[in-house]
Structure 1
């Protein structure tokens, strides 16, 4: 049984959570998110000590419900955190001549290929470029921020010999030894 699913979600004062039909709506200072709920899990809003708390319980006792129990608690908690404070990921470009530019909602990457790569940024994602080699990706949806970062990183994954490519800030790349010369 999930221990994460048992924990109540404490809702901050500046975040509004509402349950309507089969959806949960979360609204905060950064924006609004909604998610379709499943019928195996029951959600209850309570007020305790001048705080709003969201409780999660199971309607059934089977494997699928146990899997969804902790998952939905984490997804909804991430929605609440995202509308209160945005999620951010940083990507670094390492390599000679690797650089990036942002024009309107198009990210242009020069990664050593014969042509520049153009990436259309989704509407709910903000991208900022710092000194042409650091890309800051931010947004209220944690899943979308991670997906955009992974798609950009996939254009030129770090290679294991010199460490060239796009990698997450703080990511450790274990380098392999190169060829040795003949004697």
Structure 2
């Protein structure tokens, strides 16, 4: 029995959910999102909570049970509080700044990197060495943060590059004579 799937998803105040067929729509202060579940699970809304139940006892139904419940939880979290990824830039001369809808990154290349911000996320640079990615879609926020980090991943010798806030970079000792 799924320990994740059997718990109902509580709806905080200001968040509404409606089910039509296998599609659940969630509306909240940060927008609206929807998810279409597979035919292996049943979605029901009652008493300010969403319940996900498997249809049958097959292995696939049990797999989809926990996954669908997690997806619904991510919808509720996204429209109520949103998701946030913070990136730190380390290195001499490395910096970031927003210009309109484009993130300009100076990362030690011969040119500045222009990163266009996709729809659905907001990117801010509160300091020159910090970038904050926010949005209601967890997958999109994580993907945008990963794409920004990909331009200059942290290297193990000097620790320079773009890393997630709180990420530990295992440092290596340089070559010895």
TM-score under structure 2 normalisation?
Answer: 0.95
Per the alignment, residue 17 of structure 1 pairs with 17
Correspondences of 1:53-92 after superposition (within 5 Å): 53-92=49-88
What's the offset of the Cα at 1:19?
0.7
Correspondences of 1:33-48 after superposition (within 5 Å): 33-47=33-47
Structure 2 unpaired stretches of 5+? none
Instruction: Please report the RMSD computed on the Cα atoms of aligned residues, expressed in angstroms.
Output: 1.1
Structure 1 unpaired stretches of 5+? none
Per the alignment, residue 26 of structure 1 pairs with 26
Per the alignment, residue 4 of structure 1 pairs with 4
- Which of the numbers 94, 101, 124 marks the counterpart of 2:120? 124
Per the alignment, residue 180 of structure 1 pairs with 176
* Greater mean alpha carbon deviation, residues 63-72 or residues 141-150: 63-72
Per the alignment, residue 156 of structure 1 pairs with 152
Q: Is the 2:22–2:42 contact (alpha carbons within 8 Å) kept by the matching residues of 1?
A: no
- The separation in 1 between residues aligned to 2:133 and 2:164, in whole angstroms, is 11
Residues 32-82 of structure 1: per-residue CA shift (max 9 Å, x gap): 1111221110011112xxxx1111111132222222111111111011011
- The separation in 2 between residues aligned to 1:71 and 1:21, in whole angstroms, is 18
Secondary structure in 2 matching 1:45? strand
Per the alignment, residue 115 of structure 1 pairs with 111
Per the alignment, residue 165 of structure 2 pairs with 169
TM-score under structure 1 normalisation?
Answer: 0.92
What's the offset of the Cα at 1:157?
0.6
Correspondences of 1:128-143 after superposition (within 5 Å): 128-143=124-139
